[in-house]
Amino acid sequence: MSCPAPSLKDLPKVAGDLKSELEGFNKSNNLKNADTQEKIILPSAEDVASEKNEKALITGIENFEKSKLKHTETQEKNPLPDKDVIEQEKGQKNFISGIENFDRTKMKHTETQEKNPLPTKEAIDQEKSA
């Protein structure tokens, strides 16, 4: 499918002075010659060696023979808890929820009495001097 050519009104507008400058441009007088330099960077010996190792590893995996594998028995080292342990954990959860949901309004107010008071400053000074 070809698209129709745009009409003159759809083309972008160019300023008059720029248009005259573009029309009068002479590329032979105004442009300088430049040499194009094509730079091809070859991979280093390390890059080639690492790529060979990677390819060898991939082909080794792809061509692996399953017949070389030996059968082994799986040993379960982290067994699931038995029924008694589960019941103990449920009891601990009930205990913790009882602490978290404790109703403080049922508590009675008490006064604290010090039965082992700290020594006074005079008694401390007296012990230091002795």
- Mean pLDDT by 10-residue block, N- to C-terminus, for the chain (130 residues)? 72 78 74 82 91 94 89 84 87 84 86 83 88
pLDDT at 101: 83
Q: What is the largest CA-CA distance in the chain?
A: 115
Query: In this structure, what are the phi and psi dihedrals at residue 78, rounded to the nearest 5 degrees?
Result: -130, 75
pTM for the structure as a whole: 0.28
pLDDT at 1: 53
pLDDT at 2: 63
Residue whose tokens read 């590893």: 57
